[in-house]
């Protein structure tokens, strides 16, 4: 498949979140191949390490359960944890990108969801540095 245009890293992250959302929502394995290697590798990385990623999230949610997160928020946080734990991407970039995605897709204008996601990812960042 020929790439029609190059996507920015932010656009690639959005596509990853959309794939993770769809897989979680439909509860079935979908075709995760993409014309962009970064998307395919990232989605495979999250799915291949889902148990560990969810374990990290669960340990760092305060008075909240992972199944109470919306599908989109769960996808955003899962991908952020994957990047924090399994890649060399600086945590500032990972968290900032996750907050931008939250702001775009799930925040209702009151910044509550952005604050929630920020707190969870900050807890995870501290937990992973131990």
The pLDDT of residue 36 is 86
Query: Where residue 1 falls among pLDDT bands split at 50, 70, 90?
Result: very low
| Under 8 Å between Cβ of 76 and 52 | no
Residues whose CB is less than 8 angstroms from the CB of residue 49 and which lie 6 or more positions away in sequence, other chains included: 82, 85, 86
Q: What is the pLDDT of residues 73-121, one digit of tens each?
A: 999 999 999 999 999 999 999 999 999 999 999 988 888 999 999 999 9
How far, in whole angstroms, is CA 33 from its chain's centroid?
18
The pLDDT of residue 7 is 85
How many residues appear in the chain? 130
Report the C-alpha gap between 57 and 66 in whole angstroms. 7
Domains of the chain: 9-129 (1.10.940.10)
Give 22-26's long-range contacts (Cβ < 8 A, gap of 24+): 23/47, 24/71, 24/74, 24/75, 25/71
Report the C-alpha gap between 59 and 84 in whole angstroms. 15
């Amino acid at each position: 498949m020929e790439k029609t245009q190059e996507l920015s890293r932010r656009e690639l992250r959005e596509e990853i979140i959309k794939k993770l959302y769809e897989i979680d929502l439909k509860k079935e394995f979908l075709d995760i191949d993409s014309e962009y290697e970064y998307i395919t590798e990232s989605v495979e990385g999250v799915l291949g390490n889902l148990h560990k990623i969810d374990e990290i999230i669960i340990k760092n949610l305060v008075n909240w359960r992972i199944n109470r997160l919306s599908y989109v928020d769960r996808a955003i946080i899962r991908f952020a944890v994957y990047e924090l734990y399994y890649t060399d991407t600086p945590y500032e970039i990972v968290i900032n990108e996750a907050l931008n995605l939250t702001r775009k897709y799930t925040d209702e204008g009151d910044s509550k969801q952005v604050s929630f996601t920020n707190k969870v990812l900050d807890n995870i960042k501290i937990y992973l540095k131990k």
